Amino acid sequence: MHFSRALRPHNGIQDMELAKRRVLDLRGYVCPYPQLATLRALRSMEPGEELEVMTDNPPSVQNVPAIAKREGHEVVGVYQIGEGLWKIVIRRR
């Protein structure tokens, strides 16, 4: 599991707070594995935690967010971060 530090304002003061975010690197995998692995990871997480899915499989850019939404999770965003590389951020509900 990957942890990242985030600055959050608190009464006008910036506090360092540990934000939980898991990273699931699915580069090199094709359907249906990215969808199945994403659902398995989300089921093991606590509500409010975020999952960052890395993929280089173009169909997964549509299929992973669709299955996450269908399961009731929030898709925070889908970002192209390189040539043929995407990051999908999902918040567990």
| Residue numbers annotated as active site | 31
Listed residue (32, 25, 29, 73) closest to 52, CA to CA: 25
Residue 39 and residue 36: Cα distance in Å, rounded? 5
Listed residue (17, 55, 19, 4) closest to 65, CA to CA: 55
